[in-house]
């Protein structure tokens, strides 16, 4: 096998490798109904060449992203920025507005 053939093989397999890495990381970060289901999706995503495609088609929407803890956000947002309340993005376009104003 010459060098050009090896380059072509590596270039063709690179998207599948990166897709597998993405699928493994994404499945590991999401919360599923049980740990066994989470492990199953991580293992499916790790199958070479087709695993991340199976995960993307069938498992991607089954898990959910972990909720952000408001207490950790409040620690980060202890001050107003330029006199305005600090706006922090939360999931899917919702905005959490932090203000030091007393209620």
Same domain, 34 and 10: yes
The alpha-carbon radius of gyration of the chain (Å, integer) is 21
Q: Assign 99 a pLDDT band (cuts: 50, 70, 90).
A: low
Residue 21: strand pairing partners: none
Residue at a domain's end among 40, 59, 78: 59
Same domain, 33 and 74: no
20, 27 contact by CB (below 8 A): no
Q: What's the CA gap between 68 and 90, in Å, rounded? A: 8
Same domain, 7 and 53: yes
91, 68 contact by CB (below 8 A): yes
Q: Is the pLDDT of residue 93 over 70?
A: no
The mean of the pLDDT values for the chain is: 80
Q: What's the CA gap between 84 and 69, in Å, rounded? A: 22
Same domain, 46 and 81: no
Digit-coded pLDDT (tens) for 41-65: 999 999 999 999 999 999 999 988 8
Same domain, 13 and 38: yes
Helix (H) or strand (E) segment spanning residue 97: strand 95-98
47, 54 contact by CB (below 8 A): yes
Q: What's the CA gap between 17 and 50, in Å, rounded? A: 10
Determine the pLDDT at residue 91.
53
Determine the pLDDT at residue 1.
83
Same domain, 7 and 55: yes
Residue at a domain's end among 24, 41, 59: 59
Domain count, the chain: 2
Q: Domain of residue 102: give its range.
A: 68-103
Same domain, 75 and 28: no
Same domain, 55 and 72: no
Q: Is the pLDDT of residue 70 over 60?
A: no
When comparing pLDDT for 90 and 42, which is higher? 42
């Amino acid at each position: 096998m010459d060098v050009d053939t090896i380059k072509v093989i590596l270039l063709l397999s690179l998207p599948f490798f990166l897709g597998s890495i993405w699928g493994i990381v994404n499945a590991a970060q999401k919360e599923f109904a049980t740990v066994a289901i989470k492990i199953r999706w991580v293992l499916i995503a790790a199958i070479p060449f087709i695993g991340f495609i199976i995960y993307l088609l069938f498992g991607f929407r089954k898990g959910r992203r972990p909720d952000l803890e408001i207490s950790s956000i409040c620690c980060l947002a202890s001050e107003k920025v330029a006199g305005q309340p600090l706006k922090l993005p939360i999931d899917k376009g919702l905005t959490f507005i932090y203000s030091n104003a007393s209620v």
